[in-house]
C-alpha cells in the first residue's frame, strides 16, 4: 500500500517505483542512528529539567519525587551566594568580551598587513596553536609560569626589580580575573581570527587599488576599507558573544581553582556553571543545581533572541 502511495507521489521518473521506495528506505536508515542519538541524549535530558521543580530523591526516581514548585529557585535567589555568583559571572564574561572580542579583529588586520604569504602562514600556524591544547595543559602552563619559587614570570619581575618578593599569583584573589582573561585571550585569539581572515580575503582588491590612487596610506585603508568590509562578521561575532554573557567559563575556572576546592579564590571565581557543578555533582543537591542551571539557560536564550533582534533592526544582520 505504501508502495502505491509513493508511486503516485513519484510521478514521472526514469527509475521504477521499487527503486524509489528502496532509495527512500535507504535514506531513512541513514537518518536513524543520528536521530536516535539526538532524541536520547538531547531531548530525554530536557524532560529531566522537571527535577528543578521537585525534591529529587535518588531512590524514588524522577517521577515519584514530590513536586515543590519554585522552592529551589527562591532558595537560589535568596542565598548569600547568589549576588556574589552573579557579580563574578557578569564581571568575568564582560572582561572576556572587552578583551577577547577586539583581539581577533586586530590580529586578523595585523596578519593581513604581512604581505609575504609564507611568513603570514607561519604566524597564523603559531597563533592558532593554543586553541588545540586542552585547558588542563593551559592550567599546567600557568602553574609553572606563575610559580612562586622560580617561575619565569616571578624570575623576570624580581630581576627587573618590579617586585621585591615573588608574588603568589595563583592564590591571590586580586589577580585571578586578570590571569583568567589573559589565558582566554592567549588561547582563543588566533583561532577566532580565522573568520575575520576569511572575510578580509574576500574583499575586492580593486577597492584597495582605488584607495591608494586617491592617496590613502595603508594605515588609512584599514579604517576606510578593511573594517567596513568585515562589519557583518564583526556584528555576528558580537551577537554570539553578547548572548553568551552568562557563560563566563567553566573548564578554565575549575582548572585554575583546583576543581573549585581553592576556597581563597572561590569568592572571585565562582560563576553559575561552576556553582551548578559544585552543588549538583559534588554535593549531590540535584534539584537545587538543576534550578540554578535552568535559570541560566532561560536568560541565555532570552539574551540570544534580544541580541539577534537588535542586530536585525540596526544592521540587517541576523543569525537565522
Partner 1 sequence: MVRKKSASDMTLSIVAYAVLLFLAVIMIYPFWNLIIISFNDGIDSLKGGLTVWPRVFTFENYAYVFKDSRLVAAFRVTVFRTVIVTVGSTLVTSMFAFAVSRRNLRFRKTYMKVCTVTMYVSAGLIPNFLLMQSLHLVNTFWVFVFPALFNAYNMIIYRSFFDNLPEGLLEAAKIDGAGEYRTFFSVVLPVSKPVIATLALFTAVTEWNDWFKGAIYIKSPSLVPLPTLLRQIINTNAMSQLMAQMGGTASEKMSESNISTRSLSAATIIISTIPIIAVYPFLQKYFASGVMLGAVKG
Give, as ranges, the residues between 242 and 261 that touch partner 1 (CB under 8 A).
251, 255, 258-259
Local structure of residue 66 (DSSP, 8 states): P
3-class SS at 270?
coil
Contact 107, 193 (CB under 8 A): yes
Contact 234, 260 (CB under 8 A): no
Q: How far is the CB of 119 from partner 1 (least distance, A)?
A: 8
Q: How far is CA 246 from the centre of its chain?
A: 10
The single residue among 27, 70, 98, 302 that binds partner 1, judged by CB under 8 A, is 27
| Residue 122, CB-side half-sphere exposure with 13 Å CA sphere | 6
Name the residue nearer to partner 1 (CB basis): 168 or 229: 168
Name the residue nearer to partner 1 (CB basis): 88 or 124: 124
Residue 271: which of 295, 302, 307, 306 has the closest Cα?
A: 295
Name the residue nearer to partner 1 (CB basis): 93 or 290: 290
Within residues 31-90, the interface with partner 1 by CB under 8 A covers 31, 33-35, 37-39, 41-49, 51, 56, 62
Contact 268, 256 (CB under 8 A): no
Length of the chain in terms of residues written:
320
Q: How far is the CB of 37 from partner 1 (least distance, A)?
A: 4
What whole-number distance in Å separates Cα of residue 140 and Cα of residue 180?
A: 13
Within residues 259-318, the interface with partner 1 by CB under 8 A covers 259, 273, 276-277, 280-281, 286, 289-290, 293-294, 296-297, 301, 304
Q: How far is the CB of 143 from partner 1 (least distance, A)?
A: 5
Residue with cell 572575510: 199
Q: How far is the CB of 248 from partner 1 (least distance, A)?
A: 15
- Examine residue 15 and tell whether it contacts partner 1 (CB under 8 A): yes
Name the residue nearer to partner 1 (CB basis): 28 or 204: 28
Name the residue nearer to partner 1 (CB basis): 174 or 219: 219
Q: How far is the CB of 191 from partner 1 (least distance, A)?
A: 9
> How is the chain split among helix, strand and coil, in percent rounded to 5?
75, 0, 20
Show the site string, 154-183: x = touches partner 1 by CB under 8 A, - = not: xxx-----------x-xx------------
Local structure of residue 224 (DSSP, 8 states): I
2 phi/psi in degrees, rounded to 5: -65, -25
Show the site string, 118-157: x = touches partner 1 by CB under 8 A, - = not: -----x-xxxxxx-xxxxxxxxxx-xxx-xxxxxx-xxx-
Q: Which stretch binds partner 1 (CB under 8 A): 22-30, 76-84, 92-100, 310-318?
A: 22-30
Cell numbers that stand for 251 in this block: 573548564
The single residue among 17, 24, 73, 87 that binds partner 1, judged by CB under 8 A, is 24
Within residues 182-241, the interface with partner 1 by CB under 8 A covers 186, 190, 194-195, 198-199, 215, 217-219, 233, 236
Name the residue nearer to partner 1 (CB basis): 260 or 268: 260
Contact 54, 65 (CB under 8 A): yes
Q: How many residues bind partner 1 (CB under 8 A)?
A: 96
Q: How far is the CB of 92 from partner 1 (least distance, A)?
A: 18
Cell numbers that stand for 15 in this block: 527509475
Name the residue nearer to partner 1 (CB basis): 76 or 277: 277
Give Cβ neighbours of residue 109 (< 8 Å, ≥ 6 apart): 196, 200, 222, 226, 227
CB count, 10 Å around CB of 136? 10
The single residue among 28, 172, 267, 318 that binds partner 1, judged by CB under 8 A, is 28
Query: Rg (Cα) of the chain, in Å, rounded?
Result: 26
Amino acid at each position: 500500500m505504501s508502495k502505491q502511495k509513493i508511486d503516485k507521489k513519484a510521478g514521472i521518473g526514469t527509475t521504477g517505483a521499487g527503486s524509489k521506495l528502496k532509495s527512500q528506505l535507504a535514506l531513512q536508515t541513514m537518518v536513524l542512528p543520528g536521530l536516535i542519538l539526538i532524541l536520547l541524549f538531547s531531548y530525554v535530558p530536557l524532560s529531566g529539567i522537571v527535577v528543578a521543580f521537585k525534591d529529587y530523591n535518588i531512590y524514588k526516581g524522577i517521577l515519584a519525587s514530590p513536586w515543590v514548585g519554585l522552592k529551589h529557585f527562591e532558595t537560589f535567589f535568596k542565598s548569600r551566594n547568589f549576588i556574589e555568583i552573579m557579580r563574578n559571572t557578569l564581571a568575568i564574561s564582560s572582561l572576556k568580551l572587552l578583551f577577547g572580542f577586539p583581539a581577533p579583529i586586530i590580529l586578523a588586520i595585523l596578519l593581513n598587513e604581512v604581505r609575504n604569504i609564507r611568513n603570514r602562514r607561519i604566524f597564523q600556524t603559531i597563533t592558532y596553536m593554543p586553541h588545540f591544547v586542552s585547558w588542563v595543559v593551559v592550567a599546567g602552563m600557568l602553574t609553572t609560569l606563575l610559580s612562586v619559587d622560580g617561575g619565569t614570570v616571578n624570575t623576570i619581575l624580581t630581576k627587573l626589580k618590579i617586585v621585591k618578593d615573588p608574588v603568589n599569583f595563583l592564590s591571590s584573589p586580586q589577580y585571578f580575573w586578570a590571569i583568567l582573561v589573559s589565558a582566554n585571550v592567549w588561547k582563543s585569539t588566533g583561532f577566532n581570527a580565522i573568520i575575520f581572515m576569511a572575510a578580509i580575503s574576500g574583499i575586492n582588491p580593486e577597492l584597495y587599488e582605488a584607495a591608494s590612487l586617491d592617496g590613502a596610506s595603508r594605515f588609512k585603508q584599514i579604517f576606510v576599507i578593511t573594517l567596513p568590509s568585515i562589519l557583518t562578521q564583526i556584528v555576528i561575532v558580537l551577537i554570539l558573544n553578547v548572548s553568551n554573557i552568562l557563560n563566563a567559563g567553566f573548564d578554565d575556572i575549575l582548572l585554575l581553582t583546583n576543581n573549585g576546592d581553592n576556597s581563597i579564590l572561590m569568592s572571585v571565581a565562582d560563576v553559575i556553571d561552576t556553582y551548578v557543578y559544585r552543588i549538583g555533582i559534588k554535593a549531590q543537591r540535584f534539584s537545587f543545581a538543576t534550578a540554578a542551571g535552568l535559570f541560566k539557560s532561560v536568560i541565555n536564550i532570552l539574551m540570544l533572541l534580544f541580541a539577534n533582534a537588535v542586530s536585525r533592526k540596526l544592521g540587517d544582520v541576523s543569525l537565522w
